[in-house]
Structure 1
Amino acid sequence: MPSTDPAAFRDRAEAGHALGAEVAAHLGQDGVSGRPLVLALPRGGVPVGYEVAGTIGGDLDVVVARKIGMPGRPEFGIGAVSAHGPPMFGAHVHQVDLTGPEITATVAAERAEARRRLRRYRGDRPPPDVAGRTVIVVDDGVATGVTATAALRQLRMRNPRRLVFATPVCAVETGVALGKEADAIVCLRVPTDFTAVGAWYEDYRQLTDEDVEAILAEAWNETR
């Protein structure tokens, strides 16, 4: 069961190790067989996903979605877009002109960044086959859940056998909403006083593309 204990995780590795144990227990209870596929949301979700994949004996890769910020308040996510497909907007943004030039430009810029990240992180490596597999989408924490929702929806269209979302910490309302997108949610902490993801980590340094590449290279070398 999720804990409401507000104690912070030391870092993403510690959070990922604890999350991996919870995901393993969940998969065991559901009788999941075969090698799971762990898809981490860059950048922060990648070190968490690395630990989860190692714990459950899964393959690690990335799924990329980018937040679309509200005009004038770019830190507030009103939607998200993946590398391919249309943008996704929340139902609460009816007051925003979603066809306006500022939104259109933001969507184009974030889609371009999603594509850039996929090219950089994966290179010539083909995308993993999702169809018929148990897929665990991992992030380091979830506030509004717009990027997680976009990732889950694009993966659902690729016909996974089971789609799970796992994260160390999640806002209460967001967890409920994501439960409608995934077949199951695994979350260690669901604090009622959620403020920001970084508040639940002692070390929440920003990661670079090089950090992500190094983690993925290590994971892929281990599974050759």
Structure 2
Amino acid sequence: MSFANRQDAGLRLAAALAGYREKSPVIIALPRGGVIVAAEVARALDAPLDLLFVQKIGVPFQPELAMGAIVDGPQPTIVRNESVIRHAGIREKEFSAVCEREQREIERRRQCYLGDRDTIPLGGCVVIVVDDGVATGSTVKAALRAIRRQGPRELVLAVPVGPTESLEALRSDVDNLICLEVPFLFLSVGHFYREFQQVSDAEVIAVLEEAARRGST
């Protein structure tokens, strides 16, 4: 196992990103697990922390298998994994039904975590997207494409661990990609953490409140 927990991964990722401190980046976390990692990065780089709501579109009979992803926004960004859709025999009606369910979950999380608070505009900024790891890359790819539409000056993906194939598929979506561990044998993101319990809504809210207090001082 490579990391003790998400805090440990965040500290080690922050060290790898130290050169970005002088570029005044904005750190974008992918909830929920990515928030804990991103909080350590934001603290170390003295950078603002914000969220981008992205939900995996899981195969109905195997929810952990991503057949796509959806990102929040005025015009939600949807990325489809046609290979998974085809091999799982998913009909368009089934795909749309899962999309609608995940859009409702995105709305719930936005209200829970942010309320009426506006997100940080990313146009012209150096943006570092942080998650606790990459598996298939579907959710991360959807997030990166949505952010790219906002016109950041530089777009960086920073993750503790991910498989070679997924990382290579993401390189064309970013200006820089930093991954601490690229194992030869990849089973799951959680396999590379000693502690990898689910992150609660309360933990996410507490992290955002701490980041807001830090930003106001």
TM-score, structure 1 length as denominator? 0.90
* 2:71 equivalent in structure 1: 82
Residue 4 of structure 2, aligned match among 3, 7, 10: 10
Find the aligned partners of 2:64 and 2:133 in 1 and give their Cα distance. Answer: 16
- Partner of 1:223: helix, strand, or coil? helix
Indicate if the aligned counterparts of 2:7 and 2:40 stay in contact, CA closer than 8 A: yes
1:86 deviates by: 4.2
| Residue 215 of structure 1 pairs with residue 204 of structure 2 | no
| Residue 194 of structure 1 pairs with residue 178 of structure 2 | no
The structure where helix makes up a greater share of residues is 2
* 1:203 equivalent in structure 2: 195
Indicate if the aligned counterparts of 1:83 and 1:112 stay in contact, CA closer than 8 A: no
1:90 deviates by: 2.1
CA RMSD, 1 decimal: 1.6
**Paired letter, 1:164:** V
* 1:19 equivalent in structure 2: 13
Residue deviations 1:126-145, cap 9 Å, x none? 11010000000000011101
**Paired letter, 1:61:** D
4+ aligned runs moved over 6 Å, structure 1 = none
**Paired letter, 1:172:** T
1:91 deviates by: 4.0
Residue 92 of structure 1, aligned match among 83, 87, 111: 83
| Residue 139 of structure 1 pairs with residue 131 of structure 2 | yes
TM-score, structure 2 length as denominator? 0.93
| Residue 47 of structure 1 pairs with residue 39 of structure 2 | no
| Residue 68 of structure 1 pairs with residue 57 of structure 2 | yes
Matches within 5 A, 1:103-182: 103-182=95-174
Indicate if the aligned counterparts of 1:15 and 1:48 stay in contact, CA closer than 8 A: yes
Find the aligned partners of 2:108 and 2:174 in 1 and give their Cα distance. Answer: 26
1:14 deviates by: 0.8
1:93 deviates by: 3.6
Percentage of matched positions with identical amino acids = 39
Find the aligned partners of 1:222 and 1:152 in 2 and give their Cα distance. Answer: 26
Q: Which runs of 5+ in 1 are unaligned?
A: 1-6
Indicate if the aligned counterparts of 2:52 and 2:72 stay in contact, CA closer than 8 A: no
1:105 deviates by: 0.8
- The count of aligned residue pairs is 213
Residue deviations 1:35-77, cap 9 Å, x none? 2100000000001000011111211011111001123222110
Find the aligned partners of 2:157 and 2:27 in 1 and give their Cα distance. Answer: 10
**Paired letter, 2:78:** P
- Partner of 1:193: helix, strand, or coil? coil
